[in-house]
Structure 1
Amino acid sequence: MPLATSLAIFQSCKIIGVPKSTRCAILRDMAKVRKAERRPPLNKTHKLKRQDWAKKYLKTDFSKVLWTDEMRVSLDGPDGWARGWIGKGQGAPVRLRRQQDGGGVLVWAGIIKDELVGPFQVEDGVELNSQSYCQFLEDTFFKQWYRKKSASFQKNMIFMQDNAPTHASKYSTAWLARKGIKEEKLMTWPPCSPDLNPIENLWSIIKCEIYKEGKQYTSLNSVWEAVVANVGFKKLVETLDKRYDFPSRNHFSRVCLPALYDECRQGVLKDLANVKYFATTTDLWSSQTMEPNMSLTVHFIDADFNMETRCLQTSYFPEDHTGQNIAAGLRQAIAAWNLDEGKLICMTTDNARNVTLAAQLNGWMRLQCFGHRLHLAIGKLDMIYGCNY
């Protein structure tokens, strides 16, 4: 009876009434507690295809193969990773229980010879299908890495991906072919063979580091930061290429993010340069750490009569939320984006008195937010009739 419980074993022998501690003590002399081994479900056809794969690539220069894969990292970590020894008399630490491990981040990366490609984060909320997978590769792998390589490198590189439906679909295969990755440049991969991909070792190193001692995370940004900043990952990068200077958190916050913001701001200013009339939406809200913020969004119709929307800013707003302060803050925000206040048609807000007063003080037409009013109406129906909508 492999993997049977001590109770089931004793009952099969028609022995009842024996305490669990005694049952386990007796069984330890003749058996061990083990988990079932996890392995791909290989049948005869799978094994033959693995042999064919090995024969086909027996003389391949694997230093020219780009091994790719995705990995999902959750806030709570994989099941069973929170176990460990504690001293006598010490209580077990409290561990949060959240649905779906608190959510997670999907990471894509590749390794080729002594170089690491990525890792790249799949945008939160994006469900990978054939179309979104190809777009993801275009925005990350091709734009940020592949196109910077020499023509000879691109000619000799072999692209490896597993047989996930998003990878092996006709759409993805045809899309990669248009990019020049086809035939011998796209590695044939045997089914049910994740153990053949060396990048699995990279995933193992990362997970061991970021979840050691049962660590949990509070946000998707923090777990992503752990992926790219943990010690094991740095050691791996140094092993692949010692010349690579790993950027710090301050480098991203003080250099990369401001540069991205400036680039995005210039693009928005260019879009707004020829706007004749515009409308805005604003709201005040607090973050999870109770920091007050004010958002401003602009809406306009471009030269091709398309409705366009740009979020201009979500800025820290520590001042008292009086009508006067809000009015001044909104005027400063509009002026900061070179918008002519006289071209403002109306501003959509909720029904808060301070925001209503701010619009009056600035002499702006105000439009009540339909979504906010609908939410209030549903809330009143629930209070009156006890209905859940």
Structure 2
Amino acid sequence: LWIKSQIQTEIGIDVKKILFVEHHLSHAASAMFASPYKEAAVLTVDGVGEWTTAAIGYATAKWDENSNVQNQINLTRELRFPHSVGLLYSAFTAFLGFRVNNGEYKVMGMAPYGSPNYVDEILKVVDIDNEGSVHLNLNYFSFHYSTQHTYNNKFIEIFGSPRPPESEFYTLNTHPNRDHPNWDEQTAQLNQKYADIAASIQYVTEEIVLKMARYAHGLTGHSNLVMAGGVALNSVANGRLVREGPFENVFIQPAAGDAGGALGAALYVYHVILNRPRQFVMEHAYWGASYSVSRQMEAIRGLGLQYQEIEDTDILSDQVVSKILDGKVVSLYQGRGEWGPRALGNRSIVADPRQL
């Protein structure tokens, strides 16, 4: 009621025109009604939305105005708070020194520097069944009663002291310049432990996603899968799902997290409530803002930057590669910005990691 009145006051919309779509239905719609499929299994996995933390179901889409097919999304299985894959991952995000709901991708990025040596320890704080359902041992967590902390001292007894936020990260194998002024062998060894923990929670998450997907496939029998929710932004897990999963086709909308919920709510109302036929397929991720060449040049000149105009794309590509190989850091700005949190070449910073 408060949200409705606020929308009416701030935007001036009649409350009769305001519709609410449940969190995981919004996730599901953002994937299904942007996909190219007529029917698909649905899997949504995140931290929590309302009280649901994961859901499985099926969806159908009407592409022809005269078709008797109904646009529908039916979520038939759900996992409920406080048992959550996303919140489990977020607890380790905080433990590893990153911000919850912001730094999960950094855990995914830290994982390749380690080995999954702490899987057995993780399985002491979470039970996972063959369907991918998780049951957290709440004796080790505090997110269900605290707004400040996600894990407690019993968690620390298993995994040791947490990594200090914003501390430098390097291991014995990943810091080639041992004469660096900040180099410290003890820190490097400790960071290796943190990298191993990151690799372990990443592995456990991948296994959970695969089990959920296999269960969804067995439940629905569909060859297509649409997936959404914050966990669907874990591209490493998605890669395993594509390679090892039971589905022939997998579609994940680029803004799979909560930012894509607005899109999903709008698509749900348009297609399910109004039963309008499908017309649009999201075939790429470049739906962000773009600026004219004149605006770009105005910004460059305003900053007093040196520049060179190169119209031949092959020559430009060669120069970019050459600079990267020379150890330079190159920013890429072209076309429209990416829709979603992943840098995919239009707003990207690229470098040779061997020289960092």
What TM-score do you get using the length of structure 2 for normalisation? Answer: 0.25
What TM-score do you get using the length of structure 1 for normalisation? Answer: 0.24
Which has more radius of gyration? 1
Which structure's residues are more often helix, by fraction? 1
